[in-house]
Amino acid sequence: MTLIFTPLKLSFEDESESIVELSSDTTDYKWGKMPSKRSIKELLDYGIINLDKPPRPTSHEVVSYVKKMLNLQKAGHSGTLDPLVTGVLPIALGRATKILGTLLLAGKEYVCNMRLHKDVEEERIKEIMNEYVGDIYQRPPFRSSVKRVLRVRKVYENEIIDIKEREVLFRIKCQAGTYIRKYAHDIGQSLSCGAHMKELRRIRSGPFSEKKYLATLQDLYDAYMWLEEEKDEIPLRNIILPMEMGVTHLPKIFVKDSTVDSLCHGAPLAMPGVSKFTNNFSKGNMVGIFTLKHELIGLGEAQLDSENLKSKEQGLLASVNRVIMQIGTYPSQKKDN
Query: Which residues are known catalytic residues?
Result: 82
Contacts of 225 (CB under 8 A, 6+ apart): none
Cα–Cα distances (Å) from 70 to 5, 43, 67, 251, in that order, read: 20, 11, 5, 32
Buried b or exposed e, range 273-293, using 16+ CB within 10 angstroms: bbbbbbebbeeeebbbbbbbb
Q: DSSP assignment of 156-173, as one string?
A: EEEEEEEEETTEEEEEEE
In single-letter form, the type of residue at position 256 comes to K
**Alpha carbon distance 323, 321 (integer Å):** 7
Q: Tell me the H-state helices in the chain.
A: 40-46, 59-70, 100-104, 122-131, 180-190, 217-230, 234-237, 257-264, 333-336
Cβ atoms within 10 A of the Cβ of 316, count? 12
In single-letter form, the type of residue at position 202 comes to R
**What secondary structure letter does DSSP report for 215?**
B
In a 3-state reduction of DSSP, which class is residue 222?
helix
Q: CB-side exposure of 74: number of CA atoms within 13 Å?
A: 11
In a 3-state reduction of DSSP, which class is residue 327?
coil
Is the distance from CB of 8 to CB of 266 less than 8 angstroms? no
Buried b or exposed e, range 151-176, using 16+ CB within 10 angstroms: eebebeebeeeebeeeebbbbbbbbb
**Closest to 269 in 3D by CA, of 259, 277, 278, 279:** 259
